[in-house]
Amino acid sequence: MSDNTSNRSAANNSDHTTTHPHRVPNFSAGPATIPTQVLARAQNEMLDWQGRGVSVMEVSHRSKEYLAIVEKAESKLRALMDIPDNYKVLFLQGGASLQFSAIPLNLLQGGQADYLTTGTWSKKALKEASRYAKLGLGAVHEVASAKDSNFTDVPSSSTWHVSDDAAYFHYCVNETIHGVQIFEPPQVDAPLIADMSSCILSQPIDVSKFGMIYAGAQKNIGPAGLVIVIIRDDLLNQASDWCPLLMNYGHQAEKESMSNTPATYSWYLAGLVFDWLEEQGGVEAIGKINQQKADLLYNAIDNSAFYHNAVAKPYRSIMNVPFTLADSSLDKVFLAESEQAGLLSLKGHREVGGMRASIYNAVPLEWVQQLVDFMQAFEKKYA
Ligand SMILES: *Cc1c(COP(=O)(O)O)cnc(C)c1O
């Protein structure tokens, strides 16, 4: 790292995210920052897309020009994540939350599903699946909950009550609100269903260990309105009769995610983000930067008695870093002064309080350095 990284104007020119004079460090949890280069390209193409005198939003999703975009987006995502051929990639709507319903409706099949609860999102997924269990579609079982640690730790897998013959095992890889991340996929026999909304593409993973991966786009991929589902072929075509057609994975796979009109602009923008990520060197390269960013911020927190992060070290998220001040009466001052300093969206989620810095792929190291510099100056002033 250069010694002038704290100076925004001195930021490396190759770093597109900081070159526009009005773009500021944005630590929003979601919808989150999108690379400036991607937004600039979308802006360029807005009025006259591919020289056709229309925007990409104004053409048929079945036109050959639009289909070329979606084919490229899928093949880039497949290359970035090294997705095996026996997985389908679906680009659907309804956010990650609609998947909380789609998963049991497609996969429960009268059996029992296991759920691991490690924070708000996995709790919501379990609650939604329980509604279908009540309707008689099967049974839903919580294998363990992190509530005893107030969602700052993950119960050891030796204490989990895993079912025999579970239809699937659901967990949330990165709990966006609590800042808790599970880095190794749980070793269970049932197909693993993983909510990766806030960590997809942030570091290399082995897709073949999962039955299904899903992620809302608005954290690490692009604009809201799109959810990506990566699903192994054998899990298609098992949906209950109750499953709405648009949520039926087999049907959507057959229709290539175009059972109805898809979120065409979000899909297009996701493709531009995949191009950008490829230009950054892909997932492995961005994963190294993400680790550097997280280390920089956690070290600053750990080396200070003024700031605190409560999450057990092996589970600290590399994407969402919640932290508190020793004196919580200073929270409002911290938020006001950080915003004045041009550092946006550091307020913690209302369930957790304090602060949270979301440091997704599109947040460059320089922004994290600026945040750390601000935190140190703030501590000097108020400690
Ligand atoms: C944001 C988020 C969701 C919900 O996403 P929506 O698109 O708003 O439905 C679910 N899971 C995780 C891990 C998230 O971060």
Q: What is the pLDDT of residues 117-145, one digit of tens each?
A: 999 999 999 999 999 999 999 999 999 99
Instruction: State the pLDDT at residue 9.
Output: 38
Instruction: State the pLDDT at residue 98.
Output: 98
> Which tens digit of pLDDT belongs to each residue from 16-32?
445 677 899 999 999 99
Shortest-distance Cα residue to atom 10 of ligand 1: 96
Instruction: State the pLDDT at residue 2.
Output: 40
> Which tens digit of pLDDT belongs to each residue from 239-264?
999 999 999 999 999 999 999 999 99
Shortest-distance Cα residue to atom 14 of ligand 1: 197
Instruction: State the pLDDT at residue 20.
Output: 79
Cβ burial 253-266 (10 Å sphere, 16+ → b, else e): beebbebeebbbbb
Shortest-distance Cα residue to atom 2 of ligand 1: 197
Centroid of chain to Cα 361: 10
Mutate-to-test residue for ligand 1 from 198, 212, 214, highest number of ligand atoms within 8 A of CB:
198
Q: Enumerate the β-bridge partners of residue 99.
A: none
Distance between Cα 173 and ligand 1 center (Å): 12
Cα dist from 196 to 73, 201, 252, 362, whole Å = 18, 9, 20, 16
Distance between Cα 378 and ligand 1 center (Å): 32
Mutate-to-test residue for ligand 1 from 97, 120, 123, highest number of ligand atoms within 8 A of CB:
97
Has residue 181 got a pLDDT over 60?
Answer: yes
CA 359 – CA 345 distance, rounded (Å): 11
172: tokens are: 């949330």
Which of 321, 323, 322, 294 lies closest to 307, judged by CA?
A: 323
Quickly count helices (H) and strands (E) in the chain.
9, 12
Instruction: State the pLDDT at residue 19.
Output: 65
Around ligand 1, the residues with Cβ closer than 6 Å are: 30, 95-97, 121, 172, 176, 195, 197-198, 216, 219
CA 123 – CA 314 distance, rounded (Å): 21
CA 362 – CA 8 distance, rounded (Å): 16
Distance between Cα 165 and ligand 1 center (Å): 28
Q: Enumerate the β-bridge partners of residue 91.
A: 228
Instruction: State the pLDDT at residue 22.
Output: 83
Mutate-to-test residue for ligand 1 from 176, 349, 360, highest number of ligand atoms within 8 A of CB:
176
Confidence of residue 209 (pLDDT cuts 50, 70, 90): very high
Strands 87-92 and 227-232: antiparallel
Q: Enumerate the β-bridge partners of residue 228.
A: 91, 215
In order, the DSSP letters of 111-152 are SEEEEEE-SHHHHHHHHHHHHHIIIII-EEEEEEEGGGGTSS
> Which tens digit of pLDDT belongs to each residue from 146-169?
999 999 999 999 999 999 999 999
Catalytic positions: 121, 195, 219
Has residue 298 got a pLDDT over 80?
Answer: yes
Has residue 359 got a pLDDT over 50?
Answer: yes
Instruction: State the pLDDT at residue 252.
Output: 98
Has residue 11 got a pLDDT over 60?
Answer: no
Distance between Cα 305 and ligand 1 center (Å): 32
Shortest-distance Cα residue to atom 7 of ligand 1: 95
Mean pLDDT of 197-211: 98
Beta strands in the chain (DSSP E): 87-92, 112-117, 139-145, 169-172, 174-175, 180-181, 192-195, 212-216, 227-232, 307-308, 320-325, 355-358
Mean pLDDT of 289-294: 98
Confidence of residue 15 (pLDDT cuts 50, 70, 90): very low
Distance between Cα 179 and ligand 1 center (Å): 13
Which of 291, 288, 359 lies closest to 323, judged by CA?
A: 359
